[in-house]
């Protein structure tokens, strides 16, 4: 009965979307203000790459660990408990980031911020998936992601208007606190209340890995999302370095690349939900966007990418083609029963985010430093490896479009 009361523009969907908006604003702000903020805490041009990589790796590690923590709590204590707790933690961390004075302080605050941010999207997607009927949940979760991802665009223009990276972090903290008051009026999932009353085991992370079938589903659910952070974390984030290596440009702003990419990602995430509805299939929509991703990667490394304008355009194309974040997380939520759903849906995207340091190690430490490859060759081969792994995982992933979510996982 609870499912039928909610539509794609209902309060839970809107509030979840605003929550993800704040999440993305805070998550991408470091990339946008990277150079100014790193110089502001004592980094130099010579240490910029190493110091900024350390900060982003600590943030991603926080997301990885926080995904496990909040996922377990989401199934044990409820979806709303996680949303409240995560907002308080990342709002405090982001406000504190506005006062850091050293690289180590910066890294610590981003680690704590990552811990908090990890709970936002998974719990929101889980709540929306359980409150909406199955014929609307794909569009509903795409609306959450589409609106939410525009937070990166707002972060970019906030920095351009204020020219003060410390103020931008403080604004992010205040946005989180404002969101907290909106969350008060959102109802808990009826499916979760039923499972809670039934007294079944909830939020046991080891249930995801102690059963071969569940473990296989879980690993595939993570791996199908890898291209998103390869594109953002490697190609778009370092578009200035790629531009210099490919056509000698010294004027590309990686923060602007991020803005174009995320504006397109937001559009892509809305479109992929509609495509999924049209095909009545998550997998067909995902495969279409994989094809667009491959085409955009070929353009990125081709001779057509030879000006600042073409770089920004191709970053936008890469963004649109990897705008399947909502569908891949929705598929993760749909793969598991109500007593493990928040654990899965919260840990899966953060495992993907947490994979960025590993992708960075392959791209930077292995291919460039150890093997002596160029930036361009390292980027290309990293993309081939990532897409190869992703397509294998896609092949073994089951369709979930018509799946009824009102069931539990047996121990």
What is the distance between the alpha carbons of residues 400 and 409, in angstroms, rounded to a whole number? Answer: 16
Stretch 227-255: mean pLDDT: 93
Phi, psi of 90 (to 5 degrees): -75, -25
Q: Are 271 and 262 in contact (CB under 8 A)?
A: no
**112: its two tokens:** 């704590």
The count of structural domains within the chain is 1
Q: Is residue 391 part of a domain?
A: yes
Using one digit for the tens of pLDDT, what is the confidence trace for 158-211?
999 999 999 999 999 999 888 887 766 665 555 556 656 556 666 677 888 888
Give pLDDT, residue 190: 57
Write the Ramachandran bin of 373: left for phi over 0, alpha for psi from -120 to 50, otherwise beta: beta
Highest-scoring range by mean pLDDT, 208-217, 296-305, 318-327: 296-305
For 180, the domain range is: 3-396
- Angle at which helices 341-354 and 212-223 cross, to 10°: 50
Give pLDDT, residue 386: 97
Q: Are 78 and 62 in contact (CB under 8 A)?
A: no
Q: Is residue 403 part of a domain?
A: no
Any idea which residue has 């150079």 for tokens?
A: 35
Give pLDDT, residue 141: 81
What is the distance between the alpha carbons of residues 83 and 80, in angstroms, rounded to a whole number? Answer: 5
- Provide the CATH number for the domain around residue 336: 1.20.1250.20
Q: Is residue 404 part of a domain?
A: no
The pLDDT-based confidence of 405 (bands split at 50, 70, 90) is confident
Q: Is residue 407 part of a domain?
A: no
The pLDDT-based confidence of 1 (bands split at 50, 70, 90) is very low
**pTM over the 0.85 mark:** no
Q: Is residue 204 part of a domain?
A: yes
189 CB-side CA count, 13 A: 32
What is the distance between the alpha carbons of residues 118 and 371, in angstroms, rounded to a whole number? Answer: 34
Using one digit for the tens of pLDDT, what is the confidence trace for 353-374?
878 888 988 998 899 999 999 9
DSSP string, 204-257: -GGGGTSSHHHHHHHHHHHHTTHHHHHIIIIIITTHHHHHHHHH--S---HHHH
Give pLDDT, residue 146: 83
Helix (H, G, I), strand (E, B) or coil at 98: coil
| CA atoms 158, 162, 164, 167: torsion sign | negative
Q: Is residue 410 part of a domain?
A: no
What is the distance between the alpha carbons of residues 55 and 155, in angstroms, rounded to a whole number? Answer: 18
Any idea which residue has 């479009």 for tokens?
A: 401
Q: Is residue 411 part of a domain?
A: no
Phi, psi of 65 (to 5 degrees): -70, -40
**345: its two tokens:** 């849906």
Give pLDDT, residue 4: 47
**6: its two tokens:** 């909610």
């Amino acid at each position: 009965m609870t499912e039928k009361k909610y539509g794609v523009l209902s309060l839970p969907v809107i509030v979840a979307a605003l929550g993800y908006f704040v999440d993305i604003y805070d998550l991408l702000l470091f990339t946008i203000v990277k150079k100014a903020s790193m110089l502001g805490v004592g980094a130099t041009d010579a240490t910029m790459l190493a110091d900024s990589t350390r900060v982003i790796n600590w943030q991603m590690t926080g997301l990885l660990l926080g995904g496990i923590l909040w996922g377990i709590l989401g199934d044990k204590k409820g979806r709303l408990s996680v949303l409240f707790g995560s907002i308080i933690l990342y709002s405090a961390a982001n406000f504190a980031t506005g006062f850091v004075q050293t690289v180590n302080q910066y890294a610590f605050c981003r680690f704590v911020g990552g811990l908090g941010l990890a709970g936002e999207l998974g719990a929101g997607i889980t709540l929306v998936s359980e409150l909406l009927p199955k014929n609307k949940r794909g569009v509903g979760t795409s609306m959450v992601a589409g609106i939410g991802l525009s937070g990166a665009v707002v972060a970019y223009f906030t920095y351009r208007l204020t020219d003060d990276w410390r103020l931008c972090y403080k604004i992010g903290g205040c946005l989180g606190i404002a969101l907290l008051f909106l969350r008060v009026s959102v109802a808990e999932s009826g499916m979760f209340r039923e499972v809670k009353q039934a007294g079944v085991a909830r939020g046991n992370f080891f249930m995801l890995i102690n059963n071969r079938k569940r473990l296989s589903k879980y690993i595939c659910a993570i791996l199908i999302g890898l291209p998103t952070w390869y594109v953002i974390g490697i190609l778009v984030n370092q578009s200035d370095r790629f531009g210099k290596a490919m056509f000698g440009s010294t004027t590309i702003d990686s923060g602007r690349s991020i803005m174009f990419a995320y504006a397109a990602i937001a559009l892509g995430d809305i479109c992929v939900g509609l495509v999924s509805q049209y095909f009545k299939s998550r997998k067909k929509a995902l495969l279409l966007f994989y094809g667009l991703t491959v085409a955009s990667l070929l353009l990125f490394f081709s001779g057509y990418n030879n000006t600042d304008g073409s770089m920004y355009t191709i970053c936008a194309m890469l963004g649109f083609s990897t705008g399947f974040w909502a569908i891949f997380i929705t598929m993760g939520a749909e793969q598991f029963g109500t007593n493990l759903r928040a654990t899965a849906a919260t840990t899966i995207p953060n495992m993907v985010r947490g994979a960025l340091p590993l992708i960075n190690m392959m791209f930077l430490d292995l291919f460039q430093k150890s093997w002596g490859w160029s930036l361009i060759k390292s980027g290309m081969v990293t993309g081939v490896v990532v897409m190869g792994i992703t397509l294998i995982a896609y092949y073994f992933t089951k369709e979930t479009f018509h799946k009824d979510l009102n069931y539990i996982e047996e121990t």
